[in-house]
Amino acid sequence: MQKKKNAKTIMHIDVNSAFLSWQAAYNKQIGVETDLREISSVIGGDKRKRRGIVLAKSIPAKRAGIKTGESLMEAKMKCKDLVIVPPNYNLYIKSSKALISLLKEYSPYIEVFSIDECFLDYTGMEEHFGNPVDAAYMIKDRVYKELGFTVNIGISTNKLLAKQASELEKPDKVNTLYPDEIPKKLWPLPVEELFMVGSRTKPKLNKIGIYTIGDLANSDFNLIYQKLKSHGKLIYQYAWGIDDSPVHYTNYIPFKSIGNGSTIPFNVEDRETAHKILLSLSETTAKRLRAANMQCNVIGIKIKYSDFFSISHQRKLLNSVNTTRGIYETARELFDEIWNGKPIRKFSMRLSELTSCNITQMTIFDKKDEIKIKKLDKAIDYIRERYGNRSIVRATFLHSGLEPMLGGFGAEDYPVMTSIL
Amino acid sequence: MKILNEPVDMIAIFYKESGKIKPFKFRYKDTSVRVEKISKIYEEKLAGNKRIVFVCIHNGKDIYELKYEVDTCRWFLFKK
């Protein structure tokens, strides 16, 4: 546990099976006696709307072999008396915010990494709250007492090691992983436990005889670099615990693209309905794009047919856009080019090659009313911000039975998953 | 004591100086109950949901709990 001078102290706080813990804490408050964490239970989508996958699971459910991401039907087959709870995203956002405001009492430097994870820069706070391990225990116990759920805390000198540390032992634990503990604690783990090594990289590494993180760290760097290029360099550094990314404590969220998608409760078989669904996706996606003060240059759509075969298509634009109409028009063209007339179950849309709104390259092909439309979008966004998403909707959705704004779960402020430290 | 967590109609006093809240009278299953004595007040924020809890005493011996949910401005008879 020795620490170099001037070294930082970073904590990584991770909520144990977040969605489920939050629901359990809420149930405790409203007086439900069974604790979801102690029985086989999962948080899953609505089966009738066909959004039936496991989002989070309790530890007894994990023992029954249930995995996150599999369908509720499969999960039910593995465990007969499984309790399925529908998701409640507003509750998750409330819980996440309460956690962050509690953590802010310990350090002003907090990076919200996702809805259930954050980094806390503890450097220089020892004078106030004692050594990091004691402080971490204090934070962990306070979170449980006041907010009613358990967290894992990892402590180290950089963000990568702190994150790896918090995953060493679960749940409700405080773990350290200082650089001198790497050979003992990090290296014996299987290589896929390392951040940024996923299902695609693992077989490539296994093929050249690398099974643990230690194997990776002690292998020939040139070999790794040759096989995996810059990604190889990154994971080789990670295996040695090298990472110098700062704690982004302002609300800085780096992202490369924005996308929304939704599974439709019924099969879509006609072009008109499909266009409406694309319009409602454009509404939500474009709103997020504008809220980030960005515009996009590439628009892509993806559709999944009822037989689970999916197809995608994208196009680079002549000039960047961020208007709902501009995005919808391109999306509609893309859709008409790829659709083969078969029933569709899922639509998604992705906007990429983002640039700032502050500088815009005009073209002579700009639409005539572009400025007017931009003003209209701005006004609509403002109304929706203030009075809710349903306060102003397009007339085409009236009596259509379709959602006027599709996709997303109201947690746009939080990336649910990210690979950028 | 039984856990109920049932919403109730409430008359409460919101003090102008301190901003404190005092439950006065509530209706539960068509009977109105006057809050006689409050023995303890605390705040809970389980799962980030703020509630102010009032532990009250009825007839000098029966203990029950009232909760005020801050976000929704609703009163609950929690335990009786």
CATH code of residue A379:
3.30.1490.100
**Binding-site annotation, residues of A:** 14, 116
pLDDT tens-digit series, residues B15-67 = 998 989 999 999 988 888 899 889 999 988 888 888 999 999 988 888 899 99
> Is residue A415 one of the residues assigned to a domain?
no
Residues A210 and A160 in one domain: no
Residues A209 and A344 in one domain: no
Contacts of A147 in chain B (CB under 8 A): 45-48
Mean pLDDT across the stretch A233-251? 82
Compare CB distances from A25 to B5, B46, B51 and report the shortest one's residue.
B46
> Is residue A413 one of the residues assigned to a domain?
no
pLDDT tens-digit series, residues A292-329 = 788 899 999 999 998 888 899 999 988 888 899 989 99
d(CA A159, CA A119): 7
pTM above the 0.80 mark? no
How much of chain A exceeds pLDDT 70, in percent? 91
pLDDT tens-digit series, residues A132-149 = 899 999 999 999 988 888
Residue A146 contacts B, CB cutoff 8 Å: yes
Residues A18 and A137 in one domain: yes
Compare CB distances from A94 to B4, B44, B48 and report the shortest one's residue.
B48
Residue A127 contacts B, CB cutoff 8 Å: no
Residue A413: the pLDDT is 46
d(CA A125, CA A130): 8
Residues A1 and A59 in one domain: yes
Residues A345 and A372 in one domain: yes
> Is residue A244 one of the residues assigned to a domain?
no
Residues A235 and A310 in one domain: no
d(CA B67, CA B73): 10
Strand A151-156 with A174-176, pairing: parallel
d(CA A74, CA A235): 34
CATH of the domain at A27: 3.30.70.270
Chain A residue with Cα closest to B5: A30
> Is residue A141 one of the residues assigned to a domain?
yes
CB contact under 8 A, B47 and A91: yes
> Is residue A391 one of the residues assigned to a domain?
yes
CA distance B49 to chain A (A): 7
**Binding-site annotation, residues of A for Mg(2+):** 14, 116
A117 catalytic? Reply is yes
Most A CBs within 10 A among B5, B6, B45, B46, hence the mutation to make, goes to B46
Residues A9 and A149 in one domain: yes
CA distance B29 to chain A (A): 19
- Residue A65 near residue A43, CB atoms below 8 Å: no
Residues A367 and A288 in one domain: yes
Residues A207 and A106 in one domain: no
Q: Which of A111, A117, A283, A403 is catalytic?
A: A117
Please tell me the least confidently modeled range out of A6-20, A60-74, A220-234, A361-375. Answer: A361-375
Residues A327 and A205 in one domain: no
CA distance B74 to chain A (A): 13
Query: Would you list the DSSP string of A114-176?
Result: ETTEEEEE-TT-HHHH-SHHHHHHHHHHHIIIII---EEEEEESSHHHHHHHHTSS-SS-EEE
ipTM: 0.74
Residues A158 and A206 in one domain: no
Domain boundary among A150, A176, A202: A176
d(CA A379, CA A358): 19
- Token digits for A314? 């994208």
Range of the domain at A101: 1-176
End-to-end, the C-alpha distance of chain A in Å comes to: 24
Residue A411: the pLDDT is 42
d(CA A154, CA A90): 27
CATH of the domain at A213: 1.10.150.20
Residues A235 and A341 in one domain: no
Q: Per the structure, how many domains does chain A have?
A: 3
Contacts of B46 in chain A (CB under 8 A): 25-26, 28-29, 146-148
> Is residue A323 one of the residues assigned to a domain?
yes
Measured from the Cβ of residue A212, the count of other Cβ atoms closer than 10 Å reads 19
Measured from the Cβ of residue A136, the count of other Cβ atoms closer than 10 Å reads 26
CA distance A94 to chain B (A): 5
